[in-house]
Amino acid sequence: MGQKDPVLEDEVRYRYNSVILHYRKSFMQDNAQRVSTLSFELEATLKLVRFLCRREHAKEVVELLMTAADGAKSLIDASDRLILFVEIARLFGTLGYQRKAAFFSRQVAQLYMQQDDSLAAISAMQVLAMTTKAYRLQSRATLTKSLASSDEITDGGKLNPQSVVTLFESQWSTLQMVVLREILLSSVRAGDPLAAWSAAARLLRSYYPLITPAGQSGLASALTNAADRLPSGTRSADPALPFIRLHSFPVHSSQVDIVKRNPGREEWWLGSAPSGPFIYTPFSKGDPADSNKQELIWIVGEPVQVVVELVNPCGFDLTVDSIYLSVHSGNFDPFPMRVSLAPNSAKVIKLSGMPTSMGPVTIPGCTVHCFGVITEHLFKEVDNLLLGAAQGLVLSDPFRCCGSPTLRNVTVPNISIVPPLPLLVSHVAGGDGGVILFEGEIRDVLISLTNAGSVPVEQAHISLSGKNQDSVISVAYETLKSALPLKPGAEVTIPVTIKAWQLSTADLDSAGGKNTTSMGRLSKDGSSPMLLIHYAGPWVQSGATDVNSSPVPPGRRLVVPLHVCVLQGLSFVKARLLSMEIPAYVSETLPCLDKKSSNLISGGKPDSLVKIDPYRGSWGLRLLELELSNPTDVVFDIRVSVQLENKMKEDQSTFVVDASDFGYPETRIDRDYSARVLIPLEHFKLPILDGSFFIKDSKSDANQGSSRSSSFSEKNTKAELNASIKNLISRIKVKWQSGRSSSGELNIKDAILSALQTSAMDILLPDPLTFGFKLAKSSIPPADIVDLPKEANILAVPPGSKGSILAHEMTPFEVFVRNNTKEMIKMKLSITCRDVAGENCIDGSKATVLWAGVLSGISMEVPPLQEIKHAFSLYFLVPGEYTLVAAAVIDDANDILRARAKTNSPDEPIFCRGPPFHVKVIGTA
């Protein structure tokens, strides 16, 4: 317009004012009925305002317009008033007084509405539509810019209270409701169903707390009526009900287990996943507040779910015809679903969909088909609403008033879709339920893996995780490896051998309280081991043209929990070490010394472990007695087996003799009973008493006397000894069987260990000297003895008494002394013979046995690892049972012998006593 001339302006103003004054003067009350000068005055005023209508004259313009508005009262014709108000509204609008303009526009609309005419109603509707900006009621269709600006405010997550307030600027709810209602009325009357729908929707959504339930139902029917007149599939920019907020992104297990593959590393699975029970460590990088930065990976072709919460705060039943996730990126196929919501109720639903192609995905909200119209509900709007409600700026929080718990603000994570990956699905053959095993039970579990994806599995690796990992005895890695590549749809079955672990005492205590009811519970406490199967497809995507540009598709991890429910099985009560001295009978053969169990095998005769053959010489037998009780309601059969290591030089094949093959009977333990099982320990003696067992550095200590020998030997050999004990224990197997299918092994390591701890040395280490008696060849031909028992009793020898000796005969004997050490032993051997009463019957006045040869103080030198024979003869005067015992006093004992004998003083003589041998003498006295 250019610069105004103030002089000219004043002149114009002056003229107008004088004209207005003239009109006003000529207004006469009696004349008013005929012709009123008012309209002329108003016209002049408006013209003056139009001339002055600029910001610098705002005050004057406002004054003039208010005068003009006052004049409206005096106008008789409603249409005149309408024109006047239109003009005033327009002028206020020109001045920039939007609210004033809106006010007069609404007056115009009311005047239009007073006319009973659909055209007038359309005008009213259009005029009201212009007021929406001032009243901040715009439909979302016209509101794109302001939304964009509000984005910037809300993005920060946490808002400054002041900026929260600005979000809810002009909450003139009364005005807004009135205007919306007028828009609704006018649009209904004007026959614009979409506008009516939109107005009703906004009214219902924004002001439901101020509307009575009857009014809410009225609005609902208005929505339905409007929708009836709309073509189906109509979209509206303004959402109605329900309120929808994001609840959570449930992470599917397969999504958790996506593992990035590093093309540079062959074994990409190592360290890729937390293998311990702590998935979340406090030392992980980044603070938890960064959780909105989390990322989700979705996979093409694998359905995903998003949980949203719907709420209907109104007093009528709401039926959502379909609701689905609205995704604009076009690479996601949402699945619609139908929901109905009772009055004042909330519902959490899972919306699912299928990613269709690679790329990022954003989920701004949901698309809802409700009240016959399709609308989009944005999560952000509800978030803002809730934010305002939290600050007391909004009328009501729809979620809280429906009793839904407060949620923290859920942010949409960054979601990206990756190309299809193989997907292994596992199931346990014979049912996915937990396997119920007794403690120590061994069972094969078949796990079948199926590739449910569309890409072959080309790499796979199995590892163990979780608790009780050592209960998995074997996993058939090779079966899986050989099945690769696993084509889509293909299946492979992997046998896994599980040995049920021991229940801890805490478990037992809790189980003991309520014995029967808690059986199922024991498996739920996460004590089962897990198989972690890392697998991946090919390194290069089949469709990818450029190898370098496309990232390596990630691998995946499948967690197969081996659901094992361990029941308390046989329980161990106590272990005791028993030692027995069972005298052997003297026969023509030397009793087999335990260290060289040659005849045990080469003899071909099954050697039972416990059944004692008196002629074999099972002296110094040590047994481990285990007391077991059976608290279960099934029967257990126990078998003890000892694996014997036979390093026989002649026989190159290593023997592993299972003692159970030797006819050792099974011990059956009935339910609620206890039983004892004996484990023989005699075959564990080492062949040589070696210094290495006691000391490594014996030489340095040798001159300092043997007082310290025992202490240092204990220290130094602790580890070695423990290793031997462990070796010993590992060879003892207590197996049980219950019913047809259950069998297992009893874990008695700790029990044995504690029982053996004190006397392990005695069991493991041989005596320095072993003694044996034997009849000299000349007495009775051995063949006769062996064959006799079955035939007629020619020699009056009772059956089974082979090697018996007749009284009144000179019987030659031989005594053998074997040196088990690596050094020459000098000693004095003496032999005694006692009768059943234990009286020495060689010496003394009442000697009943005569002898020939030397029986006491025989000086001998036994070379290392050799045996020495000494012959003598006895003449028994009285038949009966006699006992022969050989003993020796070792001269110049070295440290090893002392340590073995557990003596401290260097002067104390070391005394070795052999086991007693029985001699049965028959005949008449």
Partner 1 sequence: MASTACFIIVSKNDIPIYEAEVGSAAKKEEAAHQHQFILHAALDIVQDLAWTTSAMFLKAVDRFNDLVVSVYVTAGHTRLMLLHDSRNEDGIKSFFQEVHELYVKILLNPLYLPGSRITSSHFDTKVRALARKYL
Instruction: Decide whether 110 or 737 has the Cβ nearer to partner 1.
Output: 110
Cα–Cα distance for residue pair 335/323, rounded to 1 Å: 8
Q: What is the DSSP string of 70-104?
A: HHHTT---HHHHHHHHHHHHHHHHHHT-HHHHHHH
Cα–Cα distance for residue pair 387/397, rounded to 1 Å: 9
Window contacting partner 1 (CB under 8 A); options: 62-70, 322-330, 574-582, 728-736: 62-70
Q: Which H or E element spans position 581?
A: none
Instruction: Decide whether 168 or 872 has the Cβ nearer to partner 1.
Output: 168
**Cβ-Cβ contacts under 8 Å for 553 (sequence gap 6 or more):** 261, 418, 419, 421, 536, 537, 538, 539, 541
DSSP state of 654: P
Nearest to 227 by CA among 341, 374, 376: 374
Window contacting partner 1 (CB under 8 A); options: 59-67, 283-291, 332-340, 785-793: 59-67
| Least Cβ distance, residue 392 to partner 1 (angstroms) | 5
Among 98, 115, 411, 643, binds partner 1 (CB under 8 A): 98
161 binds partner 1 (CB under 8 A): yes
Q: Phi-psi region for residue 672, left (φ > 0), alpha (ψ -120 to 50) or beta?
A: left
Cα–Cα distance for residue pair 789/37, rounded to 1 Å: 159
| Least Cβ distance, residue 386 to partner 1 (angstroms) | 16
| Least Cβ distance, residue 180 to partner 1 (angstroms) | 12
Instruction: Decide whether 24 or 99 has the Cβ nearer to partner 1.
Output: 99
Q: Which H or E element spans position 434?
A: none
85 binds partner 1 (CB under 8 A): no
Among 18, 114, 118, 174, binds partner 1 (CB under 8 A): 174
| Least Cβ distance, residue 97 to partner 1 (angstroms) | 4
Rule CB under 8 A: which of 398-437 touch partner 1?
A: none
Among 18, 170, 294, 700, binds partner 1 (CB under 8 A): 170
Among 51, 168, 335, 655, binds partner 1 (CB under 8 A): 168
Q: Which H or E element spans position 220?
A: helix 213-228
Instruction: Decide whether 97 or 773 has the Cβ nearer to partner 1.
Output: 97
Nearest to 526 by CA among 493, 566, 472: 566
| Least Cβ distance, residue 562 to partner 1 (angstroms) | 57
Cα–Cα distance for residue pair 376/326, rounded to 1 Å: 7
| Least Cβ distance, residue 179 to partner 1 (angstroms) | 9
For residue 471, report the phi and psi dihedrals to the nearest 5 degrees.
Answer: -80, -10
358 binds partner 1 (CB under 8 A): no
| Least Cβ distance, residue 89 to partner 1 (angstroms) | 10
Rule CB under 8 A: which of 176-205 touch partner 1?
A: 178
Rule CB under 8 A: which of 366-405 touch partner 1?
A: 391-393
Instruction: Decide whether 173 or 248 has the Cβ nearer to partner 1.
Output: 173
165 binds partner 1 (CB under 8 A): yes
Among 106, 443, 534, 802, binds partner 1 (CB under 8 A): 106
Among 171, 217, 510, 550, binds partner 1 (CB under 8 A): 171
| Least Cβ distance, residue 88 to partner 1 (angstroms) | 11
Distance set, CA 260 to CA 278, 465, 539, 547, 653 (Å): 20, 19, 12, 17, 50
**Residue labelled with tokens 């509000």:** 150
What b/e sequence results for 784-802 when a residue is b if at least 16 CB atoms lie within 10 Å of its CB, and e otherwise? ebeebeeeeeeeebeeeeb
| Least Cβ distance, residue 106 to partner 1 (angstroms) | 7
| Least Cβ distance, residue 187 to partner 1 (angstroms) | 19
Among 5, 10, 11, 70, binds partner 1 (CB under 8 A): 70
92 binds partner 1 (CB under 8 A): yes
| Least Cβ distance, residue 136 to partner 1 (angstroms) | 9
Distance set, CA 808 to CA 227, 574, 786, 849, 854 (Å): 131, 51, 23, 10, 20
Instruction: Decide whether 169 or 661 has the Cβ nearer to partner 1.
Output: 169
| Least Cβ distance, residue 204 to partner 1 (angstroms) | 19
Window contacting partner 1 (CB under 8 A); options: 169-177, 308-316, 808-816, 855-863: 169-177
114 binds partner 1 (CB under 8 A): no
| Least Cβ distance, residue 3 to partner 1 (angstroms) | 23
Instruction: Decide whether 66 or 580 has the Cβ nearer to partner 1.
Output: 66
Nearest to 235 by CA among 360, 364, 377: 377
Q: Which H or E element spans position 738?
A: strand 732-738
What's the first-to-final CA gap in the chain, in angstroms? 161
Instruction: Decide whether 34 or 55 has the Cβ nearer to partner 1.
Output: 55
74 binds partner 1 (CB under 8 A): no
Nearest to 883 by CA among 840, 837, 839, 833: 833
3 state SS of 232:
coil
Among 26, 166, 579, 856, binds partner 1 (CB under 8 A): 166
Pairing of strands 359-361, 414-418: antiparallel
Instruction: Decide whether 95 or 748 has the Cβ nearer to partner 1.
Output: 95
Cα–Cα distance for residue pair 840/581, rounded to 1 Å: 20
Cα–Cα distance for residue pair 348/310, rounded to 1 Å: 6
The footprint of partner 1 on this chain (CB under 8 A) covers a number of residues equal to 33
Among 102, 199, 211, 584, binds partner 1 (CB under 8 A): 102
Cα–Cα distance for residue pair 544/552, rounded to 1 Å: 10
What's the token pair of residue 871? 């012959």
Window contacting partner 1 (CB under 8 A); options: 46-54, 92-100, 651-659, 765-773: 92-100
Instruction: Decide whether 97 or 371 has the Cβ nearer to partner 1.
Output: 97
Among 30, 77, 116, 169, binds partner 1 (CB under 8 A): 169
| Least Cβ distance, residue 172 to partner 1 (angstroms) | 6
- x-marked contacts with partner 1 along 130-159 as a string, rule CB under 8 A: -----x------------------------
Cα–Cα distance for residue pair 24/718, rounded to 1 Å: 126
| Least Cβ distance, residue 45 to partner 1 (angstroms) | 15
Instruction: Decide whether 92 or 693 has the Cβ nearer to partner 1.
Output: 92
Cα–Cα distance for residue pair 329/332, rounded to 1 Å: 7
**Cβ-Cβ contacts under 8 Å for 212 (sequence gap 6 or more):** none
Instruction: Decide whether 131 or 894 has the Cβ nearer to partner 1.
Output: 131
**Cβ-Cβ contacts under 8 Å for 318 (sequence gap 6 or more):** 241, 242, 312, 340, 341, 343, 370
Window contacting partner 1 (CB under 8 A); options: 55-63, 285-293, 306-314, 563-571: 55-63
566: buried, middle or exposed (CB in 10 Å: 19+, 13-18, 0-12)?
A: buried
Instruction: Decide whether 271 or 392 has the Cβ nearer to partner 1.
Output: 392
Instruction: Decide whether 394 or 769 has the Cβ nearer to partner 1.
Output: 394
- x-marked contacts with partner 1 along 656-695 as a string, rule CB under 8 A: ----------------------------------------
Contact in structure between 567 and 544 (CB atoms under 8 Å) = no
- What residues make contact with partner 1 under the rule CB under 8 A? 58-59, 62, 66, 69-70, 73, 92, 96-100, 102-104, 106, 135, 161-162, 165-166, 168-172, 174-175, 178, 391-393
